[in-house]
Amino acid sequence: MSWSKVKQNLEGFLCPALYGRVEYRATGYRYLPDKSGICYIAVDKKNVLNMSDITSSIRWYQTEQEIKNDPDLQIPINHEEMEAVRKDTKGIVPEDRLIVIARSRKISEYAKELLSAQASLSRSNFVVAANQFLSISIEESLESKDILLNILALVDRRVGKKRIVNMTEKMKLKHPAVQYFYELRRSTV
């Protein structure tokens, strides 16, 4: 499908409150067919998510340590994760240390997933991801580990107000780019 058709389809699915505010843009190189061009998402005429540039206004992590040391990162720990640590340590670790160990494990796992998603986004072809989004269900896009599919689903009109409000806890575990678009959409609810 051509870029103009993909763009038209994506903009057709935008929620009414974001129509005109969120734009999908792409540049191409007419005389350099081997160069793919640049694709980005603009909010209020400002480039917010550029697929090939990590100097955007959204926080991009370079290392796992940056993620672990980020003070804004809130990782919720549930009872099952605490019990898994208690079982692994054979119950000899004090309760307050169990929370620290469980959080550390979860942050390490989260950091690896986040860096992997970030790396795949910087290498991705926006048109291919957009075509994938248009061909799968909205639930699959929301549950996907792909940052771009999450973003496209969050600004989609098929995701209702109630679902947006109920996703708050799940969004804490997503990439800052996804969190940005979640907050943008939530501000329109």
Residue-wise pLDDT tens digits, 105-133: 888 887 777 777 766 665 456 778 888 99
Look-up of token digits 């469980």: 102
Distance CA 64, CA 44 (A): 32
Domain ranges, residue 100:
64-106
What does the pLDDT read at residue 36? 54
In this structure, which amino acid lies at residue 171?
Answer: M
**Bridge partner residues of 156 (DSSP):** 14
Residue 72 covered by a domain: yes
What does the pLDDT read at residue 54? 47
Number of domains making up the chain: 1
Q: Among candidates 153, 147, 142, 155, which has minimal Cα distance to 177?
A: 147
109 φψ region: left (φ > 0), alpha (ψ -120 to 50), beta (else): alpha
Q: Among candidates 81, 86, 84, 110, which has minimal Cα distance to 97?
A: 86
Residue 83 covered by a domain: yes
What percentage of residues in the chain have a pLDDT greater than 70? 83
Show the DSSP H helices in 89-146 as ranges. 95-123, 126-135, 138-143
Residue-wise pLDDT tens digits, 10-54: 999 999 999 989 998 876 655 555 555 567 788 998 888 776 544
**CA triple 182-184-187, angle to 5 deg:** 105
Residue 51 covered by a domain: no
Mean pLDDT, rounded, for 78-92? 86
Distance CA 85, CA 59 (A): 31
Residue 92 covered by a domain: yes
Q: Alpha carbon of 122 to those of 33, 79, 129: distances in Å?
A: 20, 35, 12
Both tokens assigned to 84: 């898994």
Residue 12 covered by a domain: no
pTM above 0.75, yes or no: no
Residue 37 covered by a domain: no
Residue 97 covered by a domain: yes
Asked if 178 contacts 150 with a C-beta cutoff of 8 angstroms, the reply is: yes
Top pLDDT among 126 and 157 is at 157
